[in-house]
Structure 1
Amino acid sequence: MQKHQAFWQYQNSKNGRPRSGRTQQNISKAKKMITKNVSQRKLAKQLNTSKSNVQRILNLDLQLKPYKIRRQPFLQTAHIEKRLKFSYWVQNNFTKNDCLKILFSDEKQFEIDGVYNTQNDRIGAVDRAQADLKGGIFQKQKFPQKVMVWIGVSSRGLSPLVFLPKGGINSQIYIDQVLPVSKKFGDDNLGEDWIYQQDGATCHTSEQTQNWCYDNFPNFIPKDKWPPNSPDLNPLDYSVWNEIVNSMKWNKVYSITTLKQQIKAAVKSISNETILHICQNWYKRVRSLQSNNGLFIQ
């Protein structure tokens, strides 16, 4: 376990006498030291015992389990207040069925190197050499090729993809290339009365973009309503992007062209039932902010 990559959650210790190396003194010291998020290796060194003894102390004597540190946006008091205000606004203005008519949207940048998690990705092998031969080495380019993608998601499925130009996106590009796709998908799939959602990115909140939305969408969530630092409230951020990434065959990605092909294939592979389930849970998720005091939802 690497430093800063796991917490130990304390539970009641079991009864019984410790074995060699698991003295009551070492157990007491370990109990105090784990609050400092120290690694097992360093803990073993400071207790003058083996790493296996430390593992037994933590697992058997202290009944602890390892938990990774989870990353989430920092929420200031003002952010929390806006999140709570948004939750009550949704509750007072939308029914559960109304929320199934929301077209959520987001952009994401994909790198040709793919996605690699040092904690979760494992290779089964008898030794390191065999593991390396089976794909145990992750090579990352210094300046990997990238592509930015926009997509919308609603209870009726995923919209067509929009691959955005290299170099970023501004209001004009967003209006010219993204919003017409949003409007067509919404009109074709959600009827005459539907709602468009977008986060607080500059190209979304500019006066030019907001005016376009007022003029062209039946309804949309204006910039003064959507709370900042809230990816946990967008189905794309907390679920759909992961579905796409995990469905991609990264071993077939070796160029921008093949990266785009795999993104398209992954989008097609996600069932409408999966998307519907994700969207159906959104209303409950937003309302849960009230019992969660506006804090981040895992």
Structure 2
Amino acid sequence: MKSKDLQKVVLSKYQKGDTPKQIYHDLNGGLGLRTIERWCQMIRRSGTITLSKPPGGPRLVRTRENIQKVKNRLRRKKKVSARKISTELDMSERSVRRIMKNDLGLYPYKKVIEPLLSDDQKLKRKQFANWVRTNFRKEDTLKIFFSDEKMFDIDGVYNTQNDRVWAVDRADADKNGGTQQKRKFPQKVMVWLGACSKGLTPLVILDEGTVDHTVYIEKVLPVALKYRNQFFGSDWVFQQDGAKPHSHHLSQKWCRDNFPTFIEKDRWPPNSPDLNPLDYSIWDQLVNNINWNKVYSKTTLIKELKLSVKKISESVVFESCACRTNRLYRLYQNDGSYLR
């Protein structure tokens, strides 16, 4: 907010009877209390705010000309760093950042990785969303049972941008956990988990070689059948993605013979992790619940995975499944594009 706008706000509030402290709190730190008190004193004396000179010193770098230069540079190429702009325009990087943030109202956003969807895939996603919304009532969608597999390794999960260590120098940072060691071939574990609005199944550990349709039929599908029958009896729908073990004709036959209803391979749209609550919510909760300091082998990783599943609250699971109807509506309105 500019100085003239602040003056108008202070004048209006003071004339309505607000005290300087009340005005200070309403502006939420946008103006100092001593400045507000000085302005209120001016209002009492002359009925207005009269400043002899603009507050602060004259701008030497953040001039209108330089602001326009930065704006023009960003218009030509948005994917450019403040450091590069500062070099090109012969000004400090700090000044460039202040221009972009304070004068142009811009904020830096990280790139988000998402699947590249073809027009055909977008069409199939829209068709799937329309099919679900046409054939399932809201209460019916809460009886859909979702399933998914995920690979974990003992090196854990960390964010190179957000996982920071504050220290006086690099050596001090390294001493206080500023390094993340990564094995060339870390031990890995594939797990399967089922989820519905009433809860989660136990975690199924799939660590004996390749997970093909035989392993899927023997180890996964019976667990899905057992635990969903406990929750819903014979009134529920099984959903799985298009992975090869799932779409194999023997897996599809097992589902037809044993499940009350299931979404067949030709119905599920390809490249759509954003339509499975496990992918867009529950897996993240599981990862955040793991105490990675206790993971140093495949055995300890499996132990922590099983413990972390139990820590996921029922409300998180329910909300993840319940919001899917809205996500399908958004997908349809968004012409089948990927949902974040």
Decide which of 268, 273, 290 is 2:315's aligned counterpart.
273
Shift of 1:213: 0.5
Decide which of 225, 237, 244 is 2:286's aligned counterpart.
244
Where does 1:26-45 land on structure 2 (aligned, <5 Å)?
26-34=66-74, 35-45=77-87
1:178-216 C-alpha deviation (Å, 9 max, x unpaired): 111111111112221111110011111111111110001
Shift of 1:167: 3.4
1:66 counterpart SS class: coil
Q: TM-score, normalised by structure 2?
A: 0.80
Paired residues, number: 285
Instruction: Find the aligned partners of 1:42 and 1:251 in 2 and give their Cα distance.
Output: 39
Shift of 1:18: 7.9
Instruction: Find the aligned partners of 2:60 and 2:154 in 1 and give their Cα distance.
Output: 51
Using the TM superposition, name which of 230-239 and 118-127 deviates more: 118-127
Provide structure 2 residue ranges, at least 5 long, that are not aligned to the other structure.
Answer: 6-53
Instruction: Find the aligned partners of 1:133 and 1:149 in 2 and give their Cα distance.
Output: 34
Shift of 1:143: 1.1
Where does 1:159-238 land on structure 2 (aligned, <5 Å)?
159-238=201-280
1:36-83 C-alpha deviation (Å, 9 max, x unpaired): 411122121111111111111111121101111111101111111111
1:288 counterpart SS class: helix
| Change in CA separation of 1:173 and 1:44 when aligned onto 2, cut-off 3 Å | same
Shift of 1:254: 0.5
Decide which of 23, 29, 36 is 2:63's aligned counterpart.
23
> RMSD across aligned C-alpha pairs, in angstroms?
1.9
Match for residue 261 of structure 1?
Answer: 303
Instruction: Find the aligned partners of 1:252 and 1:32 in 2 and give their Cα distance.
Output: 51
Amino acid at match of 2:326: K
**Whose radius of gyration is greater, 1 or 2?**
2
Shift of 1:253: 0.7
Q: Percent identity?
A: 52
Using the TM superposition, name which of 274-283 and 126-135 deviates more: 126-135
Amino acid at match of 2:206: L
Match for residue 59 of structure 1?
Answer: 101
Higher normalized contact order (CA 8 Å, seq sep 6+, divided by chain length): 1
Shift of 1:32: 2.8
Instruction: Find the aligned partners of 1:53 and 1:101 in 2 and give their Cα distance.
Output: 56
2:149 counterpart SS class: strand
1:122 counterpart SS class: coil
Provide structure 1 residue ranges, at least 5 long, that are not aligned to the other structure.
Answer: 1-14
Using the TM superposition, name which of 38-47 and 97-106 deviates more: 38-47
Conservation of the 8 A alpha-carbon contact between 1:123 and 1:131? yes
